[in-house]
Amino acid sequence: MNNKIKKQLAHDIFTVFANTPLDFEKIQKLLEKPKDPSMGQLSLPVFLLAKELKKAPPAIATEYASKISDIKINYLQSCESVSGFINFKFTSEFLMLELQGLLGQEAMGYGDQGHGKRLVIDYSSPNVAKPMNIGHLRATVIGQAIRNLAASQGFEVIGLNHLGDWGVQFGKLAWAYQQWKSEYDFEKAPFKSLFDMYVRFHDEAENNPEYDEHGAATFRKLEAGDPEVTDLWKMFVEISLKEYQHLWDRLGVKHDLVRGESFYSDQLEGTVQKIKDQGLLKLSQGAYVVEVGEDVPPCLITKSDGASLYATRDLASAIYRHDVLKCDVNLYVVGVDQTLHFNQVFKVLELMGYEWAKDCHHISFGMYRFKNIGKMSTRKGRAIFLEDVLNKSVELAKEIIQEKNPDLKAKDIVAEQVGVGAIIFNDLINDRVRDVDFDWDRILDFEGDSGPYIQYSAVRCKSVLRKYKSQHNISDTDFEQHMSKFDVSEVELETEELNLCSLLLGYSQILTDSYDKFKPSILASYVLDVARTYNGFYNKLRILNADQPSDIEKRIYLTYSANKVLSEGLRMLNIQTPEEM
C-alpha cells in the first residue's frame, strides 16, 4: 500500500486518538501491511498506548476500532481489532479507483522528491585496456537501476562514465606497445591484443623490475604531453570504449557523459592549491596528505614525486560535478573495498568548507565470491569475463526456447532478452551490500525466483490481453482507451483479485523506498511478488471465460494493471520484456 493511502487514512482517524501519543504523523508511520492478507490492507499496532492508557493492547485495539467504525469512513469496508492491532479493509471500489489513478499517471507511480534537482551518478566506469569481468557487472547494473529509480523520483539525471583512463599503468602499456606491437594483431583484434600485452607486461615485470621503471618514465612523458605517447593513449582509450560500448548496449546501459580520470588532469594543480589555501596540506615522508581524523588514515594527495592519485582526481571530479554540472546529489556506485577511499575524499571536501559534501554518497556493494579460481586478477589473466557470462546465459536460453517453444518467432532476440535479463536479475535480487556467491547453476537457473520467471509472467499477461482484444475486435490503441473507461463502481473483488490489486497499489511506494535506500533489490523482490501473485490469480480464476461479463472485464483490467507494473518494474531494473516466450 502506498503512502498516499496511508496519509489519507491517518488524516481521517487521528482525531479519534486525541489525548494519546498517537498524532497524525505517528499514525501514518505506524500503519503497516498485515502479515496475513485476509486481515485487511493496512494495520495499526497500538502497543505503545498500553503504558499511557494502562490497558492491555487487545482491549485498546477493540475500543478504538469501535470508535473508528462509528466515524463511518466511506472507503472503509471494515475496521476490526485483532491481538493489539486495528485492521482496516478498504472497499473494492476505493481500491480500484486508486489503481486507476496509479495507472493513469503520465509517468506511472513516479515520486516528486527530485523535481527541480539534478543528480549525477557515476557507475560502471571500467579501466581502459581491461576487459569487463563479472566483477564489473554489479557496478554496471546496480548503477543503471539506481539511475532509473532516481529518474522515477523526478530528478534530472546525468549518468557519468568516470573511465579509468589515467595513471602509471598507461605508461606501462605505452612502453609495452613501443617494444612489442609487431607481435600482436592490432588490425583484426585490437582489444584482445591490448589486453594480452597488458597481462604480458605484468608477467615479465615480475622478473624484470626495470620494466616498471620504464613504465613510470613513459607515464611522466604522458603527463608532460609527449605527442607520441599521447597518441598511443588516445588509441588505447578509443579501442577500449568501443569494446565496452558493445557490452553496455547488450545490458541496456547508457551514459550521458564520459569524464574519465584524464579529464581532470588540468584541474589537479588548482585542486591541490585549494587544499593548500585551507591550510590542510601536510608533508609526510616526501608526500602531501590531509589528516582527516584520528580513526581514519590521512588522505594521500600527491606522491613524493609530485604525481597525482585517485583521491586527487576524485576531489577534482567532485568539485567539477558541483560547480560545472550543477548537481544537487552526487552518487558513486563503487565496490565496498573503496569505502575508506570515499570516506577520506568526502571528509577532505568537508574540511575544505564545501557544505555540499553531505550530498555526496558512496553507493557501495559487495563482491562476487568464487569457489574455484580464488581472487580474481585481471593482471594475471585470471578472471571470468562478463561477455562470456552473457553468451553462456543466452545460449542456455536458446536451448530452453528450442525445447519448449520451437516455433517461437524471433528466437534469437528473445533468447538475448531472457539470457541477459537472467544475469541482471540474479544480481539485483541480492541486497547490494552483501557479497554474492558466483554459482553457474544458480545464475543460469531459469526456474523459480528468477528474471525469466517474471518475464514469463508479463508475457502471460500480454497473451491474455491479446486474446481478449482478438475476441472483442479491439485494436491496441482502442484497448488503452477501453481500459481507461473501465467503470469501477459497484465492483466487488474476490480474495485473489483483492490481493493482486492491493499489491499493485504499492508500486509507487516501492519505487520511492528503493531510491531512498539506493537498493534495487527492494524493487526486484516486489516485482517477483507481483509475478507470483498474478500467477496465483491466473491459476485460481477464470478470466476470458468467466461466467459473468462483469467478471471478465474486472479480471482483464487487473491483468492489464499487472502487465503494466511488471513491465514497468522490469524496465526500472533495466530488463526487457519479450512479447512472447
Q: Are 577 and 566 in contact (CB under 8 A)?
A: yes
pLDDT score at 223: 86
Give 491's contacts (C-beta < 8 A, 6+ positions apart). Answer: 92, 93, 96, 550, 554
Interval 132-168: pLDDT, tens: 988 899 999 999 999 999 999 999 999 999 999 988 8
pLDDT score at 382: 57
pLDDT score at 371: 63
Q: Are strands 436-437 and 368-369 parallel, antiparallel or unpaired?
A: parallel
pLDDT score at 108: 57
- Spell 89-111 as b/e; 16+ CB within 10 A means b: bbbbbbbbebbeebbeeeebbbb
Question: What are φ and ψ of residue 161, in 5° steps?
Answer: -100, 100
Grid coordinates given for 73? 469512513
The DSSP symbol for 126 reads: P
CA 477, CA 563: separation in Å to the nearest integer?
16
Question: Beta partners for 332?
Answer: 122, 362
Q: Is the pTM of this model over 0.75?
A: yes
Grid coordinates given for 61? 485495539
Per the listing, cell 503520465 goes with 106
- The enclosing H or E element of 329 equals strand 329-333
Per-residue pLDDT of the chain (581 residues), as tens digits, is 888 899 999 999 999 999 899 999 999 999 999 989 899 999 999 999 999 999 999 999 999 999 999 999 999 999 999 999 999 999 999 999 999 988 876 555 567 899 999 999 999 999 999 999 888 999 999 999 999 999 999 999 999 999 999 888 999 999 999 999 999 999 999 999 999 999 999 999 999 999 999 999 999 999 889 999 999 999 999 999 999 999 999 999 999 999 999 999 899 999 999 999 999 999 998 899 999 988 889 999 998 877 778 899 999 999 999 999 999 999 999 999 999 999 999 999 999 999 999 999 999 999 888 765 545 455 454 578 899 999 999 999 999 999 999 999 999 999 999 999 999 999 999 999 999 887 767 766 777 889 999 999 999 999 999 999 999 999 999 999 999 899 998 899 999 999 999 999 999 999 999 999 999 999 999 999 999 999 999 999 999 999 999 999 999 999 999 999 999 999 999 999 999 99
Strand, coil or helix: what is 288? strand
Per this entry, what is the length of the chain? 581
CA 132, CA 124: separation in Å to the nearest integer?
9
